[in-house]
Amino acid sequence: MSLSYITKQLPLLLKGTVPPVSEFIPKHCPVVQNDVQSLRDFVKNSERILVVTGAGISTESGIPDYRSEAVGLYARSNHKPVQYSDFLKSATVRQRYWARNYIGWPKFSQTQPNITHYILHLLEEIGKVLCVVTQNVDRLHTKARSQNVVELHGAALEIV
């Protein structure tokens, strides 16, 4: 299979699943065409790619990142991350953490992958991407049908 496979498959995968443009996408400079071409060349000339993702990949799906100016979670609320040591030490901190997860779960769980998640799946399907390593707990790579996903922080869906 080739990269043209992606061009053919992408419209089928995206049919009815593309989320609306999110208010959580941070301000950014326009895409530089040379950068796009460099990425295209890199993918075309590579045989085994490991992709590492973080919060930025999910902002287009409507999940805010933490640190972006004006749109990140920290800029819009007083919610700060729970430190691991505090989580272990305090039942109150754990209860607050799980209560916030419970309240946010219905919206969070209904979030859909965006075009980038689907392109990574298709790149995996044609053998270019071997693995996606993500810091995200949203399972959007899995929803987009990527098979080889390593979730560094687990997933909000389950407690292990």
Q: Provide the token pair at 137.
A: 């707990």
Q: What is the dihedral sign for C-alpha 57, 112, 155, 94?
A: positive
Contact 70, 27 (CB under 8 A): yes
Alpha carbons 27 and 122: distance in angstroms, whole number: 28
By C-alpha distance, which of 43, 46, 45, 63 is closest to 54?
Answer: 63
The string over 41-65, giving b where at least 16 C-beta atoms fall within 10 Å of a residue's C-beta and e elsewhere, is eebeeeeebebebebbbbbbbbbbb
Q: Provide the token pair at 81.
A: 């991350």
Q: Which residues are catalytic?
A: 153
